Structure 1
Amino acid sequence: MNGKGEKEMASKVVVIKCGGSMLEEMPASFYQELTQLQQAGKEIVIVHGGGPAINELLGQLKIEPKFVQGLRVTDVPTMQAVEMVLSGSTNKKVVRNILTAKGKAWGMSGVDASLIKATVKDEAFGLVGEIMQVNPEPIRFLLQAGYVPVISPVAVSCDGMQSLNVNADISAGAIAAALEAEKLLLMTDVSGIYTKNEAGERIMKESTTAEEIEQLIADEVIYGGMIPKVQAALDALHQGVEEVVICLAEAASLHKACYGEAVGTSIFQKKWTKIGGTK
């Protein structure tokens, strides 16, 4: 395939990140909508979390979960539990839900085909990975074959010796960038990024910029689990993704976002470029 053909294929890709808490409550209508989008020609990739299920297994194993700056501290026993849940039960549950909706899905982790290579981010976090490279070819192969790739954010170390836990939002952003995706959807339990107006009323931002996001983090308007989401969004935009949408995890939001309708909070590449000073 020539370069132009590859770009045309990549431009249609929509990467969707769904958190583990959302997956537990996702209705059948979500997977039905996803299947309809796939059948309409949308090339869709899913990256999923699995926090609640991981915590449940850790509880059964009497391992106390610890978080620093929204990231799970991962020792060896915790990593084993993370991989069991993310690359095992949770991944296959998502695949089964798509199959039930008459869609086509293929489950995999970042370890498979060295899809996500990472190095230890910080010894303080244990086996938490910082992404070094994403290999998009296995994903493109599955998309061309008509499947929805369902990816768990478990990476492999660069020497192939160790599985590493990588934040699902950051993984989704890196995968979207590697695919030169048209859009990255960060689907969560809130409708978007919220601020307050002059009257002190809580309002949702329909669009924002990198500069505004940095200020919102400094002002602690954006905090906790939302920080990795906006950081993943900005990283993806910086690497060429056209648009990132933070929105509610539901069928209606999925439909609107994939067909270019306003939903949640949108962050666009052109705003990143403007802030960067490009003339």
Structure 2
Amino acid sequence: MDIVVLKCGGSVLEELKDDFFGSLRELIENGHYPVIVHGGGPAINRMLDFFEVEASFRDGLRVTCEKTMEIVELVLAGEVNRKLCALLAKHGFKPIGLNGSDGACLEGDFIDQSALGYVGEISSVNAGLIKMLLENGYIPVITPIATAKDGSKLNVNGDYAAASIAKALNADRCAFVTNVDGIMVNGKIKAEMTDQEIEASIGDGNIYGGMIPKVKSALAAMHAGIQKVMIISGKKQFYKNNSWQGTAIAAKERVLK
């Protein structure tokens, strides 16, 4: 089974265009099985503001108290997941929304409860459940929420969740959906980059701003054992004529497309 995990960040979810769904359809027609993992940062921030709960981050992770965890789950499972599933259905797909904490879909461990609260990393993925849905023609749409051994809900970084799910499913590819066409260096989109090239481009300023966390997430997925990692656009075609569009990332020189 040729599985492709697509990670959609919260900011790009509101910018997905028809071309994205066209590429998704072509992906399926060419024998690929997509799994979507999504975030929801902007929507979470809006809800935290509404409830007057202060948002704070440490090392790029959202510090998550019990109240924040309730809001995170409310937004991801109750709002963002529902909207994304409705959007997929509107375009003719068969989405199934999965809250990661349901049915032991995602199990996790606290990272540092004293410093981060209810923030975790994935220890186990119910690959059988996800594959069962894929085999029956559904697109699993998964929230990055895991269940700890004590039953607590854990807020998991969406990029890391996507990498863990891709690894557990032995996915062919893990692609990070963004609002850009790929990694741009010196005014041109790079078709491929190695991890060394990316680090050098960050160091010399050719990769900067909002692209830095995107490429670092992709590198983290690669270092987690995913052999084919990409940064693709949610606003343009990312797959056309059986060919991927975007930037492929590898640990060494090799053709990924």
> Considering only aligned residues, what root-mean-square deviation do their CA atoms show, in Å?
2.5
Task: For 1:174-253, list aligned pairs within 5 A.
Answer: 174-196=164-186, 202-216=187-201, 226=211, 229-253=214-238
Residue 143 of structure 1: aligned partner = 134
Q: What is the rounded CA distance, in whole Å, between the counterparts of 2:58 and 2:210 in structure 1? A: 11
Kept after mapping to 2: 8 A contact 1:177/1:241: yes
Task: Sort the Cα spacing of 1:40 and 1:195 in 2 relative to 1 into closer, same or farther, 3 A.
Answer: closer
How many residues matched? Answer: 253
Aligned partner (choices 10, 13, 24) of residue 14 of structure 2: 24
Residue 246 of structure 2: aligned partner = 264
Kept after mapping to 2: 8 A contact 1:95/1:150: yes
Task: Sort the Cα spacing of 1:81 and 1:133 in 2 relative to 1 into closer, same or farther, 3 A.
Answer: same
Q: What is the rounded CA distance, in whole Å, between the counterparts of 1:266 and 1:249 in structure 2? A: 16
Q: What is the rounded CA distance, in whole Å, between the counterparts of 1:251 and 1:143 in structure 2? A: 25
Output the TM-score relative to the length of structure 1.
0.80
CA distances 1:22-49 after superposition (whole Å, capped 9, x unpaired): 1112234433542453345321100011
1:187 Cα shift?
A: 0.8
Structure 2 counterpart of 1:70, one-letter code: G
1:85 Cα shift?
A: 0.7
Q: What is the rounded CA distance, in whole Å, between the counterparts of 1:185 and 1:31 in structure 2? A: 15
Structure 2 counterpart of 1:163, one-letter code: K
Q: What is the rounded CA distance, in whole Å, between the counterparts of 1:81 and 1:192 in structure 2? A: 32
CA distances 1:51-100 after superposition (whole Å, capped 9, x unpaired): 11111111110112222332211111111110001111111111111111
Residue 143 of structure 2: aligned partner = 152
Task: For 1:10-49, list aligned pairs within 5 A.
Answer: 12-49=2-39
1:189 Cα shift?
A: 1.9
Structure 2 counterpart of 1:212, one-letter code: E
SS at structure 1 position matched to 2:55: coil
CA distances 1:110-151 after superposition (whole Å, capped 9, x unpaired): 212222222121232221112222221111110011100000
SS at structure 2 position matched to 1:64: coil
Output the TM-score relative to the length of structure 2.
0.87
Residue 76 of structure 1: aligned partner = 66
Q: What is the rounded CA distance, in whole Å, between the counterparts of 1:116 and 1:235 in structure 2? A: 19
SS at structure 1 position matched to 2:37: strand
- Percent identical pairs in the alignment equals 43
CA distances 1:179-226 after superposition (whole Å, capped 9, x unpaired): 111111101122223344xxxxx4443222223334445567656765
Structure 1 residue ranges without an equivalent (≥5): 1-8, 197-201, 273-279
Kept after mapping to 2: 8 A contact 1:70/1:224: no
1:237 Cα shift?
A: 3.2
Q: What is the rounded CA distance, in whole Å, between the counterparts of 1:248 and 1:58 in structure 2? A: 28
Indicate the structure with greater helix content: 1
Q: What is the rounded CA distance, in whole Å, between the counterparts of 1:18 and 1:243 in structure 2? A: 17
Kept after mapping to 1: 8 A contact 2:180/2:235: no
